[in-house]
Amino acid sequence: MLRWLRTLIPAIALVWMSCGIHAADDFAPLRAKMINDIADLTAETFAATGRPAIDPRVLDAMDQVPRHQFVRPGEERDAYENRPLPIGYGQTISQPYIVALMTDLMMIKPTDVVLEVGTGSGYQAAILSTLARVVYTIEIIEPLGKVAQERLQRLAYKRVNTTVGDGYYGWEAHAPYDAIIVTAAASHVPPALVRQLKPGGRIVIPVGAPFLTQYLLLITKANDGTVSTRQILPVSFVPLVGH
Ligand code: SAH
């Protein structure tokens, strides 16, 4: 009996491990292609963004996070195409290139405390959590926030903390933040977010009217508290609602 167990247990462990490896490998080529597409687009948009290349740490993060786990069942293979996908409630998971660009602009250090407004699928939060010390993310649509929270727990993104609420007001309890990202378009920069940003910190946010031209903005707060804004690229986001 004991001998039988001794051979069976390693065999089970091997099958279990190879299943894990297999699951990761299935999408690895699609992920590699996604990273290539991001690099190509970065080169094409260089004149506008001023960024010749995405930080390799950001690309690494995008290579690690299984994007197919953040889309609706049956759409796993589409997850790696360079376009947004619906996630329910009229919302979308942002396109990979925009996720890469916004994350890159945040210039996250491993010690950073980061806030995300607009959890959606939880994908951007997962990417941020591989680069930062801790991520706080807030979602206004409760069922979306719940699903994202469960997904992030299941996939063991332990550095992400989720809540449901109106992110226009930030998340005061954990402020100040080293970097803030807003993944829905606001008509103006929410003043609370500027207040909750550390001196030396950065906000990446799309600003503009729904269905009209929106611009991705990079807002920096200097050490003396002076705020400056740079316009990066025309973009198209779902609106920041509430407030
Ligand atoms: N970052 C997400 C993309 C989400 S799309 C991802 O990686 O999948 C934008 C999200 O912002 C939507 O889920 C929308 O419900 C949410 N949102 C809109 N207005 C908000 C607000 N005031 N506070 C918090 N979330 C908001």
pLDDT of residue 176: 98
198-210 average pLDDT score: 95
Spell out the domain ranges in the chain.
10-235
Quick check: helix, strand or coil at residue 17? Answer: helix
177 C-beta closer than 6 A to ligand 1: no
Residue 165, pLDDT above cutoff 80: yes
- Residue 212 predicted with pLDDT over 60: yes
90 alpha carbon to ligand 1 midpoint, in Å?
10
Position 24 confidence tier, pLDDT thresholds 50, 70, 90: low
Evaluated on CA atoms 72, 74, 78, 80, the torsion sign reads positive
Which protein residue has the closest C-alpha to ligand 1 atom 20?
A: 240
Considering only CA atoms, which of 127, 146, 156 is closest in space to residue 54? 127
Q: Kind of pairing, strands 134-139 and 160-164?
A: parallel
Please give the distance, rounded to the nearest whole angstrom, from the Cα atom of residue 8 to the centre of ligand 1.
47
% of the chain with per-residue pLDDT over 70 = 90
Cα(224)–Cα(116) distance, rounded to whole angstroms?
Answer: 24
CB-hemisphere CA count at 13 Å for 229?
Answer: 11
For the chain, list the strands marked E by DSSP: 85-88, 91-93, 113-117, 134-139, 160-164, 177-182, 197-207, 214-221, 227-235
Q: How far apart (Å, rounded) are the C-alpha atoms in residues 87 and 101?
A: 21
Ligand 1 in reach of 181 Cβ (< 6 A)? no
CA distance readout (Å), 194 to 83, 146, 238: 30, 27, 21
Evaluate whether 234 touches 215 at the Cβ level (below 8 Å).
yes
10-235 under CATH 3.40.50.150, yes or no: yes
Average pLDDT on 102-113 reads 98
> Would you say the CB of residue 120 lies under 6 angstroms from ligand 1?
yes
Quick one: which atom of ligand 1 is closest to the CA of 148? 8
Instruction: Compute the distance from residue 67 Cα to the ligand 1 centre, in Å.
Output: 17
160 ligand 1 Cβ < 6 A: no
| Helices and strands: H and E segment counts in the chain | 7, 9
The verdict on the CB of residue 194 being under 6 Å from ligand 1 is no
Task: Report whether 82 contacts 95 (CB < 8 A).
Answer: yes
> How far away, in angstroms, is 170 Cα from ligand 1 center?
13
Q: What is the rounded CA–CA span in Å between residue 168 and residue 142?
A: 15
Q: Which residues are catalytic, by number?
A: 94
Which backbone phi and psi does 221 adopt, to 5 degrees? -110, 115
User: Whole-model pTM above 0.85?
Assistant: yes
Q: Is the CB of 205 under 6 A from ligand 1?
A: no
Q: Answer yes or no: is pLDDT of 21 > 80.
A: no
